[in-house]
Amino acid sequence: RRRTAVLISGRGSNMAALLTAARDPAYPAEIALVLANRADAGGLALAAAAGVPTAVVESRPFRGDRAAHEAAVQAVLEAHDIGLLCLAGYMRLLTPFLVGRWAGRMLNIHPSLLPAFPGLDTHARALAAGVKLHGCTVHLVTEEMDAGPILAQAAVPVLPGDDAASLGARVLAQEHVIYPMALALVAGRAATPPAADVALSNPLPTPPSLP
């Protein structure tokens, strides 16, 4: 099983979905570390309760020196003999230092159907744009933000009366489905998979009953 670290900044619901999937001994990845860049990340307590080693490498003391922060993160990953990385609500832009070291081995989940709506506030922006389908994407991390090769996507409908919270909750439920699928896909292959031939079909969400 591939030793995998999950990097978080907040509540860690995607991390929890990965932990649940990895409880199955047949799952090809083992969550060997949960690392946060904030000591107050809620997901740390969840991970500790599940018996998973945790680490905190606070970004704030590095005062914008992203390379130095990433070097500290890399040292912790090496100390835990990590072979795959999952960003799960890890709200840091990465530099070529980490991106280059983990090329083909670092996944991210993003709450939109990329390439639509990279960046922040995706649900409000999807509503403002008037799209009828929204969703989430798991992709390999490359230097350009939210632009790496796509591993998995799931679409959800935008329903009348949705606000960012209701739409975001519908998307989040699908995030918890496709992230474990995408990690299994990458972990089940040889190290450093070629990005181009990695693909999953969409898990189809239950169609809503329309008025």
- Kindly list the residues in this chain that would bind ligand GAR in the complex (CB under 6 A): 8, 10-14, 43, 88-89, 109-111, 172, 175
* Alpha carbon distance 189, 27 (integer Å): 12
CB of 186 to ligand GAR, least distance (A): 17
Residue 10 vs 149, nearer CB to ligand GAR: 10
Whether 110 is a known active-site residue: answer yes
CB of 187 to ligand GAR, least distance (A): 19
**Strand, coil or helix: 144:** coil
| Residue 12 near residue 47 (C-beta atoms within 8 A) | yes
Chain CA centroid to CA 170, Å: 17
Residue 83 vs 137, nearer CB to ligand GAR: 137
* Alpha carbon distance 158, 133 (integer Å): 6
Q: Which residues are annotated binding-site positions?
A: 12-14, 66, 91-94, 108
CB of 211 to ligand GAR, least distance (A): 28
CB of 43 to ligand GAR, least distance (A): 6
**Sign of torsion, CA 56 181 112 19?**
negative
**β-strands 2-8, 29-36 pairing:** parallel
**Strand, coil or helix: 150:** strand
Residue 13 vs 142, nearer CB to ligand GAR: 13
| Residue 5 near residue 35 (C-beta atoms within 8 A) | yes
Residues 110, 134, 139, 176: which is the catalytic one? 110
Residue 77 vs 154, nearer CB to ligand GAR: 154
Q: For residue 36, what are its two tokens?
A: 């946060």
The catalytic residues are: 110
